[in-house]
Amino acid sequence: MKTLKDQTYVLITGASAGIGRALAFEFARHGKNLLLVSLPDTGLAETLQSIQEQHAVDVRGFVCDLTDRGAPRSIQAWCEKNQFRVSVLVNNAGFGNLERLEKTQTEVLENMMVLNNSSLVLMTQLFIPLLARNRKSHLMNVGSLASFMPLPGKSVYSATKSFVYSFSYSLYFELMAQNIRVSCLCPGGTLTERVLESMEKSQMKRQKFCQLPHEVAIEAVRGMYKDKFRIIPGWQNQILYWLSRTLPRFAKIAIIKKAFQGTTMRKTTIFRPEPPLLRSFALLNR
């Protein structure tokens, strides 16, 4: 049995693929024990095994669907029952789509709002008392660069990520007295496994501004432990954020209209060999 110096855990939702999986490996590289939460049949067992083989940390898995109303409480009960001391909570689980609002299935929209917002809020509420037991803890919510700009075809997704950012910003001040440091990770276009598969099918080239999940994870963990609130990985994404904050409204409207001019927002029109920057961002944003 491994002898562990650090008896606290980092809990990550949506940890079997994409940014969540990359965050798990990055925290393990820093010697942090892990509690990984993921959907059934999404590769969690393989992730657990790989981390155990590569790093001398304790790693446990919990399978559930966070769109189920009782899932956050089940995760909390699992931690309490096993006396896991959670010092870092990463609310990473979330998803988006690329389709006009009226053409999107209602169930997809409902699940997106539940997973991206409702379950994130409930997970945060339930774990604040657990985080507060430590001398210092961290809460990282995963937003998006879409938190700061409108994206035609991803209207609900952008709105859910704006919520995550605003919610996290309020908590940043609210939880200071409890020594819980809040960060909001806002990645841009990220080449996750799902995105790469879609790009391959559609013969879409990688855009220079895109990042790989492990690149996002490195900056995320580094920024979190420096107590940064807003973490935007990649200098290109930082420029996009700056433009979204400084350009006047009429200029932003003109840019968005130009970027999405002549498209019906269907995947067949979005997937092109060299799509415009903003349109590519809409497609690739997690």
Instruction: Indicate the residue type of 104.
Output: T
| Of 58, 89, 85, 57, nearest in space to 72 by CA | 89
Radius of gyration, alpha carbons of the chain: 19
190 DSSP 8-state letter: B
Q: Residue 31 to residues 40, 51, 62, 111: CA-CA distances in angstroms?
A: 26, 11, 20, 34
Is 172 designated active site?
A: no
| C-alpha span between 190 and 14 (Å, rounded) | 15
How close are the terminal C-alpha atoms of the chain, in Å?
A: 38
| C-alpha span between 116 and 283 (Å, rounded) | 18
Q: Which of 9, 157, 165, 241 is catalytic?
A: 157
Instruction: Indicate the residue type of 34.
Output: L
Buried b (16+ CB within 10 A) or exposed e, 137-162: bbbbbbbbbbbbbebbbbbbbbbbbb
| C-alpha span between 216 and 207 (Å, rounded) | 16
Tokens matching residue 137: 């803890």
Instruction: Supply the residues annotated as catalytic.
Output: 157
